[in-house]
């Protein structure tokens, strides 16, 4: 379904430890200082119901979840997120920047958990009402490096083995190759400043 919202929808994707939250913050700051209306958000958990879903999805006390259950909970979080945060922002013409979106489900629950990525895409498409990003930024990093980059204890997904994270990475890259005009893949090991300059230029070119 084509999207006709007046704003610009940007999704950040990538594996663990790629520095997405830093880059989301820098991009938002730069766009705001240029006078733009910017909404930053994330999945899972940026709505009241989403926060409760996030605890289930990422908390170790949940234990093992059937991959289909996990997929549907991420989709439920997404439905609520799009309806109450993303759509309203885009409808008023804002730049909406989300830290993770549909491709995370396709890569983690599809390639990672080895469900059919096409099924996951279809569920997410329904959950989001067919809202796809105008631009998806993939911050690409070798998981052998990314998984060493954070200090907090690993959550349920981070604690998966390296091979899981390698499948996730490969799938993000495969998605970007399928639709190159809607993706920007950036090497997350470049300097923070270099990455943020590249991203700002890419977003501004879509706003002008
Ligand atoms: P989080 O701590 O929010 O952020 P990040 O890892 O991006 O710094 O973790 C979210 C986790 O949820 C992450 O391991 C990826 C995973 N995830 C999925 O498996 N499927 C999804 O659809 C989404 C949105 C996230």
pLDDT at residue 150, rounded to an integer:
77
Domain spans in the chain, listed from the N-terminal domain onward: 8-207
SS in 3 state form for the chain?
Answer: CCCCCCCEEEEEEECCCCCHHHHHHHHHHHHHHCCCCEEEEECCCCCHHHHHHHHHHHCHHHCCCCHHHHHHHHHHHHHHHHHHHHHHHHHCCCEEEEECCHHHHHHHHHHHCCCCHHHHHHHHHHHCCCCCCCEEEEEECCHHHHCCCCCCCCCCCCCCCHHHHHHHHHHHHHHHHHCHHHEEEEECCCCHHHHHHHHHHHHHHHHC
Q: How far is the CA of 10 from the centre of ligand 1 (A)?
A: 16
pLDDT at residue 1, rounded to an integer:
44
CA–CA separation, 183 and 185 (whole Å): 6
The parts of the chain modelled with pLDDT lower than 70 are: 1-4
pLDDT at residue 65, rounded to an integer:
95
Q: Which atom of ligand 1 is nearest to the CA of 156?
A: 14
pLDDT at residue 154, rounded to an integer:
86
pLDDT at residue 91, rounded to an integer:
97
pLDDT at residue 208, rounded to an integer:
81
Q: Is the CATH number of domain 8-207 3.40.50.2000?
A: no
Q: How far is the CA of 180 from the centre of ligand 1 (A)?
A: 23
Q: How far is the CA of 59 from the centre of ligand 1 (A)?
A: 12
């Amino acid at each position: 379904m084509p999207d006709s919202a007046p704003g610009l929808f940007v999704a950040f994707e990538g594996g663990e430890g790629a520095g997405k939250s830093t880059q989301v913050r820098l991009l938002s700051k730069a766009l705001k200082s240029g006078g733009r209306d910017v909404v930053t958000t994330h999945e899972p958990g940026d709505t009241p119901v989403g926060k409760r879903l996030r605890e289930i999805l990422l908390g170790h006390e949940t234990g093992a979840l059937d991959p289909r259950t996990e997929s549907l909970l991420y989709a439920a979080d997404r439905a609520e997120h799009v309806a109450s945060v993303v759509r309203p922002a885009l409808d008023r013409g804002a730049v909406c920047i989300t830290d993770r979106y549909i491709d995370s489900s396709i890569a983690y629950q599809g390639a990672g958990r080895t469900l059919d990525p096409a099924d996951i895409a279809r569920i997410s498409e329904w959950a989001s009402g067919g809202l796809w990003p105008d631009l998806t930024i993939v911050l690409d990093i070798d998981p052998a490096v990314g998984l060493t980059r954070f200090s907090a204890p690993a959550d349920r997904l981070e604690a998966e083995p390296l091979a899981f994270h390698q499948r996730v990475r490969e799938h993000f890259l495969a998605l970007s190759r399928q639709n190159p005009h809607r993706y920007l893949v950036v090497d997350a090991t470049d300097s923070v400043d270099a990455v943020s300059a590249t991203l700002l230029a890419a977003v501004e070119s879509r706003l002008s």
